[in-house]
Structure 1
Amino acid sequence: MSAVEANFDGIIGPTHNYGGLSFGNIASDKNRGEASAPRAAVLEGLRKAKQLADAGLVQGVLPPQERPDIGLLRRAGFTGSDKQIVEAAAKTAPELLRNAYSASPMWAANAATVSPSADTADGRLHLTPANLVTTLHRSIEGPATQRALSRVFRGDCFAVHPPLPAQSTFADEGAANHVRLCAEHGGPGVEIFVYGREAGEHWRGQFPARQTREACEAVARSHGLDLERCVFIRQGQAAIDAGAFHNDVVCVGTLKTLFFHELAFEDKAAALKAIRAAADGLFEPIFVEVPQADVPIGDAISSYLFNSQLLAMPGDDRLMLNAPVESEETISTRDYCARLTAGNGPIGTVNFVDVRQSMRNGGGPACLRLRVVLIKDELSSVNPACLLTDETYAALCKWAERHYRETLSVADLSDPSLMDESRQALDALTGLLDLGSDFYPFQRG
């Protein structure tokens, strides 16, 4: 059946800041406390999305979440008006306030795991929001993500699940640890779930293993997947210890092609064998492995070569890698990309895109998007206001230029006026994206 792979990018929120909250994310830690540029950030993200829409791809957007999350601060014991809560938290719990202000929902690859209708037992498209329990600032996202997905993906053809139980046994980081391979987007595929640890095991790594096998299996069951077409692979501990906190920092795939670093998987031979077995009778997988000798794991992570979008472009018979400009500025990755595209392999073009504001917080082009395979009826059921058109793009840019600060320091988070500005921006956005006047908590009173 004919289908498209749409990209839904997270709109970067008005409180985009460098709070340095993500242990194991080297870029996030490196830039902790630096001043950010929220207006430049949101415009960079929108520009990236518009470039792909202009190229003929289906491109959508997902809304930011309300920040600061006053509910988090109230549950932590703060009382009074919202303004009083922000002021009290700034004085007595500034680290907690940074968590409440995080704009991390911008990284839509962590929003959910998505299984297209071609893979599911009931013929519906299934989405499970990630619970993101490993880090505090992200663990608050799940319920709001579920609400957002329900407002974007409307109708009986979609099944939006609640997040998995918010407990370490089911630690789930969403599509950042999930890859789907297929002969064509509308046909049955192989769903690859990558996990860092099993629940209850004694983890010896330098950084946390954020995804459990149990979470992967739970998502596969709830989506009604054929387990013979699912593969569960352990991420390489060497990659995690080097800073690959998600598998999409060292691996990306689309259609038949899997593009990955040599250290991406703990048992590479077994992983590739399992993928071939799951694809048997459907297609022959194409593996593009980047050797450690060509691109050291440190360069792969600092440049985010693999945190790129691997895309089938209209009219092209080879894939395009939409990579961050940092991959062009890093010698090893730039040279590798030149050799990659000079050959006859499946990847024919590398486009370097500027999303520096996101990169400085630890998220590349792939982090910013959630991939959703849609057949015609499903696409027609998507909230049309959330699909990027020339008119929507112009309206969103105008909205961002009006409501976003040019710069934002961590110290600015103590100013309650930032909360008011953010709420004004989000209130206006709900009208632009047809999300309803009750979408955000502050709108519901």
Structure 2
Amino acid sequence: MKQFEANFDGLVGPTHNYAGLSFGNVASYSNAAQASNPKAAAKQGLQKAKALADLGMIQGMLAPQERPDLYTLRRIGFSGTDAEVLQKASQQAPALLNACCSASSMWTANAATVSPSADTRDGKVHFTPANLVDKLHRSIEPITTGNILKATFNNERYFKHHQHLPEHASFGDEGAANHTRLCADYGQAGVELFVYGQSATNPNAPKPAKYPARQTLEASQAIARLHQLEDESCVFIQQNPDVIDQGVFHNDVISVGNQNVLFYHEQAFIDTETKFAEIRNKMNTEVHFIKVATEQVSIDDAVRSYLFNTQIITLPNGEMAIVAPTNCQENPAVFAYLNELVTLGTPIKQVHYFDVKQSMQNGGGPACLRLRVAMNEQEIAAVNQHTLMNDALFNRLNLWVDKHYRDTLTVADLADPQLIIESRTALDELTQILKLGSVYQFQK
């Protein structure tokens, strides 16, 4: 049975804005208070997704979440009509309103951790939504994320859905942004590489000094247990605290893997050689460790261009390609490196550039926008087929965006009661397009 890796991209929501909510994310902070373009952001994401489908990849879409999140605002004491809740929040606690309007669910690399059936003892694809406890605006996502995942991967014979981990800093979990699977082939048992920022239960363990380490070892270990992974299928490796303090808030800002390739910056990890030896011992095939030296690309250039927040995909012809933001073309050191990379004889033979600047300005590149799910033919057939990208869905979603999204949105606009109506109307129609059922709070 053939095996594939599908990419499920997050649809950018109607409230896409630049409120600068993510401490430790350099791009998010540096672009705070700029006006955003939700319509352009959604169309950029759709264009990238459609281009991958046109390359022969299996490409799906995951719905955005309901924003403004009036349910959370009411939980924390704001009352009255919807318009009154927005008005009171904007006057009394604007930072909380901003958090409850974030469109951050677009970055589905943080939606969940996924283990394919080839790795799990029960032979099912396992999903655990990330709890995202480190950031308020993301910590309100997991329940709806779980609902959307269940509506997308909606066959219990093939898919196992777990509740997100306990909402405590000891189990800080940021999803697939800190998880990479290495394998000879998508359908063969592989090695799941769990990258963590610190051990929550060891006060003497290394940790960053300036920015938070969002993923804990304890969370990664818990997910491995939930997903029924054997010890020989897991490697736990710590991210270098020094690079976290330089703006590398997730592992996918400093390394990315695909099949038997791990593409990484030389400063990415602690105890690199020992852990790489463990990977080699647990793999049944040659592993290509492609190291980018600091003298080739600095940490600053890597963060600004998102060289490692790229997708590495295996095309139908067997060649690997990098899907990169156009920011990589605009950075001389990074562009020169990528031009050289495709000549070095590694499995990576091509680079495809896409404009996702609306996302990049908020701190998310191509890899942030997608959740990878390795599946066989039967599992793909069991997916909600209305969520899979094709010409008809692409055209319909573009028309949907044109109908419902604004061209400009400022932080001040988040208090506009009309935004609630626009967002709910858009999401109500989207649930019908993608056949999602009642996944949102306002539909209860």
- The TM-score with structure 1 as length reference comes to 0.98
Deviations 1:135-192 (A, max 9, x none): 0000000000000000000112100111000101110000000000100001110000
Q: Tell me what 1:353 maps to.
A: 354
Cα separation, 1, equivalents of 2:439 and 2:153: 14
Code of the residue aligned with 1:145 in structure 2: it is: T
Code of the residue aligned with 1:407 in structure 2: it is: T
Pairing 1:4-15 to 2, within 5 Å after superposition: 4-15=4-15
**1:74 CA drift (Å):** 1.1
**1:283 CA drift (Å):** 1.1
Q: Tell me what 1:234 maps to.
A: 238
Q: Which moved more, 1:343-352 or 1:196-205?
A: 196-205
Q: Tell me what 2:312 maps to.
A: 310
Code of the residue aligned with 1:52 in structure 2: it is: L
Pairing 1:14-413 to 2, within 5 Å after superposition: 14-155=14-155, 156-202=157-203, 203-279=207-283, 282-315=284-317, 317-413=318-414
**1:41 CA drift (Å):** 0.2
CA contact (8 A) 2:144 2:439 kept: no
Cα separation, 2, equivalents of 1:108 and 1:274: 29
Cα separation, 2, equivalents of 1:237 and 1:274: 21
Secondary structure, in 3 states, of the residue corresponding to 1:164?
A: coil
Code of the residue aligned with 2:433 in structure 1: it is: L
CA contact (8 A) 2:35 2:411 kept: yes
**1:343 CA drift (Å):** 2.0
CA contact (8 A) 1:18 1:32 kept: yes
Deviations 1:207-237 (A, max 9, x none): 1000000000000000000111200000011
Cα separation, 2, equivalents of 1:55 and 1:293: 34
Percent identity between the two aligned chains = 51
Unaligned runs of 5+ in 2: none
Code of the residue aligned with 1:19 in structure 2: it is: A
Cα separation, 2, equivalents of 1:97 and 1:51: 35
CA contact (8 A) 1:109 1:174 kept: yes
Cα separation, 2, equivalents of 1:204 and 1:107: 24
Deviations 1:413-434 (A, max 9, x none): 1111111111110011011000
Q: Tell me what 1:430 maps to.
A: 431
Code of the residue aligned with 1:238 in structure 2: it is: D
CA contact (8 A) 1:27 1:362 kept: yes
Secondary structure, in 3 states, of the residue corresponding to 1:218?
A: helix
**Any runs of at least 4 consecutive aligned residues in structure 1 with deviations exceeding 2 A, and if so which?**
200-204
Secondary structure, in 3 states, of the residue corresponding to 2:342?
A: helix
Q: Which moved more, 1:270-279 or 1:123-132?
A: 270-279
**1:439 CA drift (Å):** 2.3
Secondary structure, in 3 states, of the residue corresponding to 2:9?
A: strand
Deviations 1:316-365 (A, max 9, x none): x4310001111110011001011111221111111111100000000000
Cα separation, 2, equivalents of 1:121 and 1:395: 39
CA contact (8 A) 1:24 1:207 kept: yes
CA contact (8 A) 2:150 2:161 kept: yes
Cα separation, 1, equivalents of 2:302 and 2:360: 13
Deviations 1:59-116 (A, max 9, x none): 0000000001112111211111221101100111110000000000000000000000
Cα separation, 1, equivalents of 2:374 and 2:202: 35
Secondary structure, in 3 states, of the residue corresponding to 2:191?
A: strand
Cα separation, 2, equivalents of 1:17 and 1:43: 15
Code of the residue aligned with 2:249 in structure 1: it is: F
Code of the residue aligned with 1:215 in structure 2: it is: A
Deviations 1:365-407 (A, max 9, x none): 0000000001111101100100011101100000000000000
CA contact (8 A) 2:208 2:245 kept: no
Cα separation, 1, equivalents of 2:309 and 2:44: 16
**1:238 CA drift (Å):** 1.8
Unaligned runs of 5+ in 1: none
Code of the residue aligned with 2:172 in structure 1: it is: A
CA contact (8 A) 2:9 2:62 kept: yes
Secondary structure, in 3 states, of the residue corresponding to 1:20?
A: coil
Code of the residue aligned with 2:19 in structure 1: it is: G
**1:201 CA drift (Å):** 4.3
**1:204 CA drift (Å):** 4.5
Code of the residue aligned with 1:125 in structure 2: it is: V
Cα separation, 2, equivalents of 1:227 and 1:419: 47
CA contact (8 A) 1:265 1:271 kept: no
Cα separation, 1, equivalents of 2:370 and 2:433: 20
Cα separation, 1, equivalents of 2:34 and 2:331: 23
CA-based RMSD of the aligned residues comes to: 0.9
**1:200 CA drift (Å):** 3.7
